C-alpha cells in the first residue's frame, strides 16, 4: 500500500495547489537568494541560511511525492530527519539564526530579534510540508521574499547614496538595512492577513479532522515498521524509536489493556457525570510519536463507541502562540527545550490591538463554521514523561511581553476559552488523560543512570494505571466523611518544608445530600487516587512551599507561594541568580501573566502505590503532574476543576451531590464572563515526606489528623501506608 500517493492517505504535491505558478516563481527566486550577495554584508549569511532551509524542505517534499520515502532505508530517513533539526540541537544552537542571541549579536538587537522570529516561523514549515499543505508553505516562502527584497532595496539605496537616509526611514537603524520597524510591520501584516486562514485550518483539524496523523493511524495496521515515525516530519529521538520497539515487542493483550483503560476512562467520564455520549460524533485523540500501536487500538475503541477519532497535526507557529486551547494532537521529544523557551513570546514583537482583534474575529468565524457540525465529545489525551528536567536560561533581551501587552494577552486567552466553551458546549463534553514513560526516564540522574530498566518502569506505570478503583473509592469515602464535617484544612510542612497553610472549605446547606469533596476514581484522570474540592477563598491564608517540584516539564526549586484570602499575594523560587528572575519565572509559567490567581483546588492524593513504586525504581523526580498530584496533598492555582461545567450536577458513588464547584470568580460567568475564568490550572504537590500535618479542623476548633509525618493516620485509611513502609 502506498501511503503517500493516495489522495485521502498521503501528501498532495505542493505544486498542485491553486497557486502553482506562484509557488514556482517563489521557489526559483529563493533558489537564487542562496548564492546572492545583494544585501548588507552582515545579513548575507542569514538569507543564505534561510534559502538553504527552504531548499532542504523542498527536498523532503520531493522525497514524499516521488515515493522514495517508501523505499529509502530507515537509517537514511533517520539521517534526513536529523538534518531538519541539526541547527537547533544544543551543540549547534549557539550559532543558529534561530537563536535570538546569535541573531542579535550579528544583526543588532532589534533587527536580530525580528529575523530570528522569522527564522522560527520558517522552521515551523516542516509540519505543512509533511502534511502536503502547499498554500501554507507558499505564504511563508513569500513572506521571506518580501523581507529579503526590503533588505535588497535598502542596501541598493545605501550603495547609491550613503548619505541619503530618507529611504531608510526614521529612528534607530543600521545604514544599508531597512529600519526594524519596517521589518516588524511586514511580519505583523502577514500575521493579520492570514489570521483567518490559519485559524480556520487549526480549528477544523482540531474538531473535524483531515490531518496527517489520522492517515498514519488509519494505515498503521497495514505495515507496522519504524518508518512511520519519520512520516510526521517531527523530531525523532531515541525516546520515540525506543518506545516503538518496546511496544512492538509486547503481546496484543498488553496493548489492549493499555488502550482499553485509556478509552474506557473516557466513556466512564460521561457515565458518572450523566452526560449523553451518544449525541457526540467526534473525539480528539492525542498521543506521543512511538505509541502508534496503542493509538491505533484506541482509535478502534472510539469508533466502537460511535466516535470518529480526530488527531490534530502539529500546529506550532506564530499564529498559535498564546491562542488558548486547541494544540496539536501529537507530541514528540523536543530537540532543544531552550529553543522553544527562547521563542515562547516572539508574538510580543508584533502584538497590538489590531492583531488581537483579527485573531479574535478569526476564532469566532472558525468556531461558527466548524463547531456545530463537529459534535465534539472532548479529548482523549496521552501524556508522556521521563525527559531530563529542563531549567531554562532566561535572557532579558529576548522577546517578552510588556506590562501593557500582558493584560491584553491574558484577556485574549480568557475570551478564547469562552469561545471554545460555547462552541464545544462544556456541559456536554468530557475528557480523559493517561501517562506513560519514555526511555529517557532511566538516564541523566545526579548519581548516574538508574539501575531499573525502561521495561520495569513501563510495566510499573501500566500497573498503576489499572489499579482497582473500588478499594480506593471506599477508603477515600472515609476521608470525605470526616472532611465534610470540617470548616477548614490545616497543612504544615515537615523538615525543610515551610508550608503553613489554612484552606477554608465551603459549607453544605444539606450535609445529608451534599458533599464538599469529590471522590475521584480512574475515569477522566488516570490513575486513581485523590479527593478534591474547590476551596472557599475567604479564610484561605498562609504559605505553600515545596523544596523541589517539576511543573509542565520545568524545574522549580524552593518554590514558595503566599496566599491571602485565597489569592496569590507573593511568591518566590530559588535556582536563579536573582530573586527577580525567579519571580519572572513564576509569573510566566505558573501565573501565566496574571497579577494574581485564586487557589482553584485543594486535594489529598492517596496513591501511595505510585509514590512507593517511583521511589523503589528511582524515578520519583520525573513523575508528571498527572501522577505526582496523587502522591501527596496538592493545591492548584487558577481555575477550579469544574471550570465551565459548574452547572453540571455531579455525584459521588454514595449518591451525595458535589456542591463545592465554584468560587467568587466563576460565579461571574453569566454577568461578567471576562472575569470568571483565568484559562490556567497548575497543581502543586507536597510529597508525603514533606507533610508534617494535614488535619480537618472542625467547627469547635478541634482537629482530626488525616496525615501526620508523612503517614495516613485516620482510622480506616492506614492500609495506604503499606506501600510507603515497604518502599
Mean pLDDT rounded to a whole number for the chain: 91
DSSP 457-518: HHHHHHHHHT--HHHHHHHHHHHHHHHTT-SEEEEEE-TT---EEEEE----S-TTTEESSE
Q: What is the pLDDT of residues 118-158, one digit of tens each?
A: 999 999 999 999 999 999 999 999 999 999 999 999 999 99
Rounded distance between C-alpha atoms, residue 170 and residue 179, angstroms? 8
12 pLDDT higher than 50: no
Lowest-confidence segment of 313-327, 435-449, 617-631 by average pLDDT: 313-327
**Pairing label, strands 282-288, 308-310:** parallel
What is the mean pLDDT of the segment spanning 169-193? 87
pLDDT of res. 166: 52
SS (H, E, C) 362-381: HHHHHHHHHHHHHCEEEEEE
Q: DSSP 3-state assignment of 444? A: coil
Q: Which strand (E) or helix (H) includes residue 628?
A: helix 625-628
pLDDT of res. 15: 42
379 pLDDT higher than 50: yes
Nearest of 285, 273, 337 to residue 661 by alpha carbon: 273
With pLDDT > 90 as the criterion, what percentage of the chain qualifies? 72
- The answer to whether 294 and 258 have CB atoms below 8 angstroms apart is yes
pLDDT of res. 161: 86
Radius of gyration of the chain (CA): 27
Q: What is the pLDDT of residues 313-348, one digit of tens each?
A: 888 899 988 765 555 789 999 999 999 999 999 999
173 pLDDT higher than 80: no
pLDDT of res. 373: 66
- The answer to whether 174 and 111 have CB atoms below 8 angstroms apart is yes
What is the mean pLDDT of the segment spanning 696-712? 97
Cell of 637: 492555582
Side-chain half-sphere of 71: how many Cα atoms within 13 Å? 5
pLDDT of res. 171: 45
pLDDT of res. 650: 84
Query: Quick one: pLDDT band at residue 165, thresholds 50, 70, 90?
Result: low
2 pLDDT higher than 50: no
Nearest of 526, 520, 528, 110 to residue 350 by alpha carbon: 110
With pLDDT > 70 as the criterion, what percentage of the chain qualifies? 94
658 pLDDT higher than 50: yes
Cell of 126: 516542516
Q: What is the pLDDT of residues 517-543, one digit of tens each?
A: 999 876 788 999 999 999 999 999 999
Q: What is the pLDDT of residues 537-553, one digit of tens each?
A: 999 999 999 999 888 77
Q: What is the pLDDT of residues 405-422, one digit of tens each?
A: 888 888 888 888 888 888
Query: Quick one: pLDDT band at residue 428, thresholds 50, 70, 90?
Result: confident
pLDDT of res. 323: 65
What is the mean pLDDT of the segment spanning 201-220? 91
Nearest of 221, 223, 230, 279 to residue 255 by alpha carbon: 221
What is the dihedral angle through the alpha carbons of 399, 403, 409, 414, rounded to the nearest 10 degrees?
150
565 pLDDT higher than 90: yes
107 pLDDT higher than 90: yes
pLDDT of res. 417: 82
Nearby residues of 440 by Cβ (< 8 Å), 6 or more positions away? 237, 238, 239, 333, 386, 387, 388
pLDDT of res. 329: 80
What is the mean pLDDT of the segment spanning 643-654? 85
Amino acid at each position: 500500500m502506498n501511503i503517500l500517493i493516495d489522495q485521502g492517505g498521503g501528501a498532495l504535491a505542493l505544486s498542485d495547489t491553486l497557486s502553482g505558478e506562484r509557488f514556482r516563481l517563489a521557489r526559483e527566486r529563493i533558489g537564487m537568494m542562496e548564492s546572492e550577495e545583494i544585501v548588507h554584508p552582515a545579513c548575507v549569511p542569514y538569507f543564505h541560511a534561510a534559502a538553504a532551509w527552504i531548499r532542504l524542505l523542498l527536498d523532503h517534499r520531493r522525497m514524499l511525492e516521488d515515493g522514495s520515502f517508501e523505499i529509502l532505508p530507515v537509517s537514511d530517513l533517520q539521517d534526513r530527519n536529523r538534518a531538519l533539526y541539526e541547527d537547533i540541537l544544543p551543540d549547534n544552537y549557539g550559532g543558529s539564526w534561530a537563536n535570538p542571541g546569535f541573531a542579535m549579536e550579528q544583526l543588532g538587537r532589534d533587527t536580530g530579534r525580528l529575523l530570528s522570529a522569522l527564522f522560527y516561523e520558517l522552521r515551523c514549515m516542516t509540519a505543512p510540508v509533511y502534511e502536503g499543505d502547499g498554500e501554507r508553505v507558499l505564504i511563508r516562502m513569500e513572506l521571506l521574499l518580501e523581507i529579503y527584497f526590503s533588505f535588497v532595496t535598502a542596501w541598493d539605496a545605501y550603495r547609491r547614496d550613503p548619505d541619503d537616509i530618507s529611504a531608510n526611514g526614521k529612528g534607530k537603524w543600521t545604514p544599508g538595512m531597512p529600519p526594524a520597524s519596517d521589518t516588524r510591520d511586514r511580519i505583523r501584516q502577514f500575521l493579520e492577513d492570514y489570521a483567518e486562514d490559519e485559524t480556520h485550518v487549526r480549528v477544523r483539524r482540531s474538531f473535524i479532522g483531515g490531518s496527517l496523523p489520522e492517515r498514519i493511524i488509519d494505515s498503521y495496521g497495514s505495515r507496522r515498521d519504524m518508518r512511520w515515525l519519520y512520516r510526521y516530519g517531527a523530531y525523532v529521538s531515541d525516546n520515540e524509536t525506543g518506545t516503538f520497539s518496546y511496544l512492538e515487542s509486547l503481546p496484543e493483550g498488553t496493548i489492549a489493556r493499555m488502550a482499553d483503560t485509556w478509552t474506557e476512562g473516557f466513556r466512564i467520564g460521561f457515565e458518572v457525570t450523566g452526560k449523553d455520549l451518544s449525541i457526540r460524533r467526534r473525539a480528539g485523540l492525542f498521543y506521543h510519536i512511538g505509541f502508534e500501536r496503542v493509538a491505533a487500538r484506541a482509535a478502534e475503541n472510539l469508533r466502537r463507541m460511535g466516535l470518529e477519532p480526530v488527531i490534530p497535526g502539529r500546529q506550532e507557529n506564530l499564529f498559535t502562540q498564546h491562542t488558548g486551547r486547541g494544540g496539536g494532537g501529537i507530541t514528540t521529544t523536543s530537540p532543544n527545550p531552550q529553543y522553544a523557551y527562547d521563542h515562547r513570546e516572539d508574538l510580543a514583537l508584533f502584538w497590538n490591538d489590531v492583531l488581537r482583534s483579527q485573531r479574535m474575529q478569526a476564532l469566532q468565524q472558525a468556531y461558527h463554521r466548524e463547531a456545530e457540525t463537529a459534535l465534539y465529545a472532548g479529548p482523549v489525551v496521552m501524556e508522556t514523561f521521563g525527559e531530563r528536567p529542563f531549567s531554562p536560561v532566561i535572557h532579558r533581551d529576548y522577546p517578552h511581553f510588556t506590562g501593557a501587552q500582558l493584560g491584553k494577552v491574558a484577556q485574549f486567552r480568557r475570551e478564547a476559552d469562552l469561545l471554545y466553551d460555547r462552541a464545544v458546549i462544556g456541559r456536554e463534553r468530557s475528557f480523559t488523560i493517561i501517562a506513560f514513560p519514555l526511555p529517557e526516564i532511566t538516564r541523566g540522574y545526579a548519581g548516574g543512570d538508574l539501575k531499573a530498566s525502561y521495561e520495569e518502569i513501563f510495566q510499573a506505570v501500566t500497573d498503576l494505571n489499572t489499579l482497582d478503583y473500588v478499594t480506593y473509592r471506599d477508603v477515600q469515602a472515609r476521608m470525605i466523611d470526616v472532611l465534610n464535617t470540617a470548616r477548614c484544612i490545616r497543612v504544615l510542612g515537615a523538615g525543610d518544608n515551610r508550608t503553613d497553610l489554612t484552606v477554608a472549605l465551603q459549607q453544605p446547606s444539606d450535609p445529608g445530600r451534599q458533599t464538599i469533596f469529590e471522590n475521584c476514581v480512574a475515569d477522566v484522570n488516570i490513575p486513581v487516587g485523590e479527593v478534591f474540592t474547590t476551596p472557599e477563598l475567604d479564610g484561605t491564608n498562609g504559605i505553600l512551599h515545596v523544596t523541589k517540584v517539576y511543573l509542565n516539564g520545568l524545574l522549580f526549586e524552593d518554590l514558595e507561594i503566599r496566599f491571602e484570602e485565597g489569592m496569590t499575594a507573593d511568591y518566590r523560587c530559588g535556582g536563579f541568580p536573582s530573586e527577580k528572575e525567579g519571580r519572572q519565572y513564576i509569573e510566566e509559567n505558573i501565573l501565566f501573566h496574571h497579577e494574581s490567581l485564586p487557589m482553584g483546588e485543594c486535594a489529598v492524593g492517596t496513591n501511595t502505590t505510585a509514590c512507593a513504586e517511583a521511589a523503589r525504581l528511582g524515578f520519583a523526580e520525573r513523575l508528571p503532574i498527572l501522577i505526582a498530584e496523587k502522591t501527596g496533598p496538592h493545591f492548584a492555582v487558577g481555575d477550579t476543576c469544574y471550570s465551565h461545567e459548574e452547572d453540571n450536577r455531579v455525584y459521588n458513588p454514595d449518591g451525595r451531590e458535589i456542591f463545592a464547584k465554584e468560587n467568587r470568580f466563576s460565579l461571574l460567568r453569566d454577568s461578567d464572563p471576562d472575569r470568571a475564568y483565568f484559562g490556567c490550572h497548575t497543581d502543586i504537590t507536597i510529597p508525603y515526606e514533606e507533610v508534617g500535618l494535614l488535619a480537618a479542623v472542625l467547627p469547635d476548633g478541634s482537629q482530626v489528623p488525616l496525615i501526620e509525618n508523612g503517614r495516613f493516620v485516620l482510622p480506616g485509611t492506614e492500609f495506604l501506608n503499606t506501600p510507603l513502609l515497604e518502599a
